[in-house]
Amino acid sequence: MSATALATERITVSDRIIDEARDTPVTTGSTLVLRSAEGADIELPADLQRILLHTLASIAGDNQVTIGRMPEELTSTVAAELLGVSRPTLMKWARAGEIESFTVGSHTRFQRDEVLRVRALRAAKRAAAHEALREFGAEHAELFDD
C-alpha cells in the first residue's frame, strides 16, 4: 500500500447559504447549467445534477453532507453496508455467485461497480414488488379492513 496523503477540503455552510438553499425553487424538469466567463451556458451531466441537487436539498433540510469518492475495491463490510445486508449474507451471495468477488490474500473484496449494480438491481426488484402489492391491494380492496 502506498503512503498517500489525503487532501480534505472542508466547506463551512453559513446560515445565509442554508436560507438561499431553502429559498431556491427546484421544479420538476429543472436543469443546472454552468455559465462560462464568455456567457455560454453549459448544461451539467444528469448524474452531476442529481448529486448537486441532492446536496442542496440536504443542506436546506439542516442535514450534514459528506461528499467523497468510493474506492474501486470494497471490503466485505463496506459492500454489505452499501447493500443494506449483513456481511454473512453478502458472503453467502458471493459463494452462490449472486455477486462477483475476488480475494486479496485471504480477504474477500468486491468491485465498486458490481456492488452498485447489485444495489440497483435490488432496488428495482423492491420497486416492482411494491408496485405488484399496490396493484393487488387496489384489485382486492374488499379483502382488507379499513
Mean pLDDT (the chain) is 88
pLDDT at 77: 96
For residues 77 and 97, what is the distance between their CA atoms, to the nearest angstrom?
A: 18
pLDDT at 56: 84
For the chain, the residue count is: 146
Task: Extract long-range pairs of 88-97: CB within 8 Å, 24+ residues apart.
Answer: 93/118
pLDDT for 62-110, tens place per residue?
A: 777 888 888 999 999 999 999 999 999 999 999 999 999 999 999 999 9
User: Percent of the chain having pLDDT more than 90?
Assistant: 55
For residues 103 and 39, what is the distance between their CA atoms, to the nearest angstrom?
A: 51
Instruction: Report domain extents, the chain.
Output: 15-60, 73-139
Among candidate residues 91, 79, 146, 144, the one with its CA nearest the CA of residue 118: 79
Among the ranges 20-24, 50-54, 112-116, which has the highest mean pLDDT value? Answer: 112-116
Strands, E assignment, 3-143: 33-35, 41-43, 73-75, 102-104, 107-111
Least confident of 6-15, 67-76, 112-121: 6-15
Region 110-116 average pLDDT: 97
pLDDT at 101: 97
> Hey, which residues does 41 pair with through a beta bridge?
35
pLDDT band of residue 146 (cuts 50, 70, 90) is low
73-139 belongs to CATH 1.10.1660: yes
pLDDT: is 100 or 7 the higher one?
100
Least confident of 8-17, 33-42, 44-53, 121-130: 8-17
